[in-house]
Amino acid sequence: MKRQSIVAANWKMNGGFALVEEMSERLAHISLQESVNVVVCPSFPFLSALSHSFIQHELADTFAIGAQNVNEFDSGAYTGEVSADMLKACNVQYVILGHSERRSIYKETSTQVAHKVKQALENGLTPILCIGESEAERMAEQTETVLAAQLQPVIDEVGISAFANIVIAYEPVWAIGTGKTASPAMAQETHQFIRTFLAELDANIAQKTPVLYGGSVNAKNCEELFAQADIDGGLIGGASLKADEFTVICSAAKGTN
């Protein structure tokens, strides 16, 4: 069974025009294994710039653009929000949803995340659905319960078959931006749990859904993480702000599984 590998850059509230240009220049010279997709997710104001830059460097067919959030409604009086339609107008193909920073700082619930996933799918955007447990939850051996509780509302909202068009990113909260990475074996065990959880509903879909690892991935640890059977690439925060390091991580993605 072949699965897509994806390496996505999550710039968070960092980066700007200079990084857009630098990233395009580096990506223009990268060598990737077959069936690796690279997605760059800048802040909203730089989506159009990234799109123009990809076109200018003739990268638009090779690399994809992602947003870091989308509103769950079509349009209307939602000051400060951005709709799926608006993202599509900027050539966005992916959207990060349910990131732990949105869940914890902006109090997004799993139900709201599920609505956003639905809205993204209905508008032809591929959700990168983030799930992950806190350190306390892992210590209390609640990891699987927490991940299941984050996945279930999405399954209830869009159905298991929709996972053919969803990318999951497993990001243990305690590993995000901390320099602490889950060991490859620990990450693999959790990824396997996620795949088994999906397989209980649809074994075929479970084999197809890419499950990315995120949390302090860097140029040094990426190879060992990506070598795990159920890790299909990564969602990269801090290390994606350095174009050189990010391209090394992209090149380490193994392609097909």
- 180 belongs to the binding site for ligand PGA (CB under 6 A): no
Residue 57 catalytic? no
CB distance 90 to 229 below 8 Å = no
- Residues 6 or more apart whose CB falls under 8 angstroms from that of 162 comprise 117, 121
The full DSSP string for 102-134 is HHHTS---HHHHHHHHHHHHHTTPEEEEEE---
Instruction: Considering only residues 107 through 166, tell me which ones interact with ligand PGA, judged by CB under 6 A.
Output: none
Closest CA to 93 of 128, 65, 129, 121: 65
- 15 belongs to the binding site for ligand PGA (CB under 6 A): no
Q: Say which of 72, 108, 133, 171 is annotated catalytic.
A: 171
**169 to 31, 35, 75, 82, 232: CA distances (angstroms):** 24, 18, 28, 22, 9
**From 40-48, 108-116, 210-218, 222-230, span contacting ligand PGA (CB under 6 A):** 210-218
Strands 5-10 and 167-170: what pairing?
Answer: unpaired
- 212 belongs to the binding site for ligand PGA (CB under 6 A): no
Query: In angstroms, what is the minimal distance from the CB of 34 to ligand PGA?
Result: 25
Rounded CA Rg of the chain: 17
Cα angle 223, 227, 230 (rounded to 5 degrees) comes to 130
Q: Which is nearer to ligand PGA, 6 or 205 (CB)?
A: 6
Query: In angstroms, what is the minimal distance from the CB of 14 to ligand PGA?
Result: 10
Binding residue for ligand PGA, selected from 235, 248, 252, 253, defined by CB under 6 A: 235
Residue 108 catalytic? no
Query: In angstroms, what is the minimal distance from the CB of 75 to ligand PGA?
Result: 28
- 47 belongs to the binding site for ligand PGA (CB under 6 A): no
Residues that bind ligand PGA (CB under 6 A): 10, 171, 176-177, 214-217, 235-239
Tell me which residues are annotated as active site. Answer: 99, 171
